[in-house]
Amino acid sequence: MKELWSKRARALTPYIPGEQPRERKFIKLNTNENPYPPSPMALAAIREAACDTLRLYPDPECTNLREVLAASYGLKPNQVFVGNGSDEVLAMCFQAFFDPDRPILFPDITYSFYTVYADLFGLTYRQIPLDENFAVPREPFLEENGGIVIANPNAPTGRAISLSGVKAVLEGNPNSVVVVDEAYVDFGARSAVELVDCHPNLVVVQTMSKSRSLAGLRVGFAFANENLITALNSVKNSFNSYTLDRLALAGAEGALRDVGYLRATTMKIIHTRGYTACRLKSLGFQVVDSSANFLFVSHPDVAAKTLLDGLRERGILVRWFDKPRISNYLRITIGTDQEMEALCAALAELLGKEG
Ligand code: PMP
């Protein structure tokens, strides 16, 4: 009964996010959420906003939040854009910077939303294969294109690109916009934010969902020169000028002010990641080098889908992608030490090994 749908809606294959079970009985290592609560400063700010100002519309310009973001990252407020999660910021980038007549380039194994957005907005794209170690090759991103989107670290592989790699892509593409999606950058990759001032074609997109434990609040942001920010604002204001609600604005500002908490929780996750990688290797897993809050792993003896199902039966959710080349891999979010212990014990049992 799709006759009443537009042709574009009929052709869409929407992105299906990882399972969000209603019961909390699972150990949830499937959607790269942070296992630690948000900063106490973020929670206090949300509580205060809930009591004081919910009666009023939020500031459509998100002025305070943009000022705090600018001060935190060494930029000016007119170089900052905010949105309802970085998924929305990315959607606005696709609308603001890309045209249907020239293909967008992105890696062939990357965040699946990029193809979804390109299809949704009627854009063309070309996917560039990763090399045999899942690294993003440089040369193909210098070919003729209408824009580039690169996740750094990449997802679901977790591999990072060096700053000089990002710079080479920017310098080789002066006539197209390069969007660097840094959703996981705080877990060990080098941010390209410092390049914003001298590269007018760069947009850096980040989120509060991962390193700042605020996935439920939906706050994403972008850094770019003023000209590109103006384009993003014109798309946003044509859609919904009240982008963020008052609770999101307050929570995001509170989280940004608590630098010590961000450092402590990300260091903890990086430490747990290293320990978990060693444990998985000792169970025979191949583990891709990760700069993110997840590991991308495969086992030579047991199919990833079998492990996925076995873990689920044992109350542990991880992510599996039914896609060529990566169908024997699992993406495992780094949780608390106890959660990773439970994961390793369950995997050892499934593999018939000592934990
Ligand atoms: N980019 C990448 C690479 C991601 O993995 C995600 C999370 N699924 C996002 C962006 C979007 O995150 P959010 O909308 O929660 O900011």
Pocket test for ligand 1, best of 111, 112, 180 (most atoms within 8 A of CB): 111
What value does the mean pLDDT take over residues 329-343? Answer: 98
Q: Give yes or no for residue 151 CB within 6 A of ligand 1.
A: yes
In this structure, is residue 2 part of a structural domain? no
200 and 285 both lie in a single domain = no
Q: Which residue has the higher pLDDT, 30 or 3?
A: 30
Please give the residue that has the higher pLDDT: either 353 or 251: 251
Q: Are residue 286 and residue 246 in the same domain, yes or no?
A: no
CATH number where 56 lies? 3.40.640.10
Of the chain, the percentage scoring pLDDT greater than 70 comes to: 99
What pLDDT, on the 0 to 100 scale, is given for residue 355?
A: 60
**Does ligand 1 come within 6 angstroms of the Cβ of 85?**
yes
Is 190 part of any domain? yes
Q: Is residue 317 within 8 Å of 26, Cβ to Cβ?
A: yes
Residues 206 and 324 in one domain: no
pTM over 0.90: yes
Instruction: Compute, in angstroms, the gap from residue 91 CA to the centroid of ligand 1.
Output: 11
**Mean per-residue pLDDT for 289-297?**
98
Tens-place pLDDT, residues 12-64:
888 888 888 877 789 999 999 999 999 999 999 999 999 989 999 999 999 99
Band (pLDDT 50/70/90 cuts) for residue 2 is: confident
Give the span between the Cα atoms of 212 and 330, in whole angstroms.
24
Domain residue limits at 108: 40-258
- The predicted-structure confidence for 97-145, as pLDDT tens digits, reads as follows 999 999 999 999 999 999 999 999 999 999 999 999 999 999 999 999 9
Q: Identify whether 1 is part of a domain.
A: no
Residues 86 and 230 placed together within one structural domain of the fold: yes
Indicate whether 214 and 87 sit together in one domain: yes
Residue 113 forms part of a structural domain: yes
Instruction: Report how many domains make up the chain.
Output: 2
| 83 and 19 fall within a common domain | no
Last residue of a domain, one of 240, 258, 276: 258
Q: For residues 155 and 184, is the Cβ–Cβ distance under 8 A?
A: yes
pLDDT at 213 over 90: yes
One domain for residues 97 and 213? yes
Instruction: Tell me, yes or no, whether 77 lies in a domain.
Output: yes
Residue 309 lies in a domain: yes
Question: Which residue reads 């949300």 in tokens?
Answer: 46
Q: Which residue has the tokens 């996750």?
A: 269
Query: Is 155 close to ligand 1, i.e. is its CB under 6 Å away?
Result: yes
CATH number for the domain that contains residue 303 = 3.90.1150.10
Average pLDDT over residues 278-288: 98
Give a yes or no: residue 285 inside a domain. yes
Last residue of a domain, one of 228, 258, 288: 258
Is residue 163 a part of any domain in this protein?
yes
pLDDT at residue 20, as a whole number: 84
Q: Which amino acid is at 48?
A: E
Closest CA to 176 of 83, 96, 238: 96
pLDDT digits (tens, 9 = 90+) for 149-165: 999 999 999 999 999 99
272 and 180 share one domain:
no
For residue 198, pLDDT beyond 80: yes
